[in-house]
Amino acid sequence: MRYLLLLITFYSLSFSSITKSVILYYQFKNYEKACKEGIKIVDKSNEAILSLIGAACAKSDQIDSLAKIAVKLSSKREFRENRSYFLTLLLQKSLILQFLKDDTNIENLKFPKTDHIISLIFSKITKNEYKTVSKNPKTISIKNADKTYRITFSKTEPSTIIIKEYFQDTVMKTHRIK
């Protein structure tokens, strides 16, 4: 019995330590690390921590991780809103991948707009505001204000959407939407 109590206490302390780490990683804008560590504790976290983990995953382009989190958010309005946001990103990612790999027509689909890059790309594709750069693998180019985006996918499975942001001819940022 004493051994069991000691084990439970150790487990509780290590769990709370991971939660604190996730919060600190998020506060210091290390979103990839917050997401990676947060996924380890998804099954044991409350909805506020789950929302923070989900936000970190979205900011670090780890979109597939949002599936585990979204299904657990439902008790309050703000958590249901986060759930909708996460599921919107998941569906938009999936449809963009189908568009790129399978030539699926996604024109005229309407989804809520978000501040994530995937929503901007999705919106431009559905409005047919892109140019095809190559067909194998399919690569498209999208102009938006002073930036140009080049979108394709990795050939390795599971496929990753690769979005390169250009300012003039210089790559400013590369997103790997997993």
Structure tokens given for 113? 């707009």
Residues 90 and 63: beta-carbon distance below 8 Å: yes
- Higher-pLDDT residue of 4 and 39 is 39
Quick one: how far is CA 166 from the chain centroid?
21
pLDDT per residue as tens digits for the range 79-119: 999 999 999 999 999 999 999 999 999 998 999 889 999 99
- On the question of pLDDT at 166 being above 60, the answer is yes
Indicate the range of 40-49, 83-92, 120-129 predicted with least confidence.
Answer: 40-49
Per-residue buried b or exposed e for 132-153, using 16+ beta carbons within 10 Å of the residue's own CB: eeeeeebbbbbeeeeebbbbbb
C-alpha span between 102 and 10 (Å, rounded): 50
> Counting runs of H as helices and runs of E as strands, what totals does the chain give?
6, 5
Q: Is the pTM of this model over 0.75?
A: yes
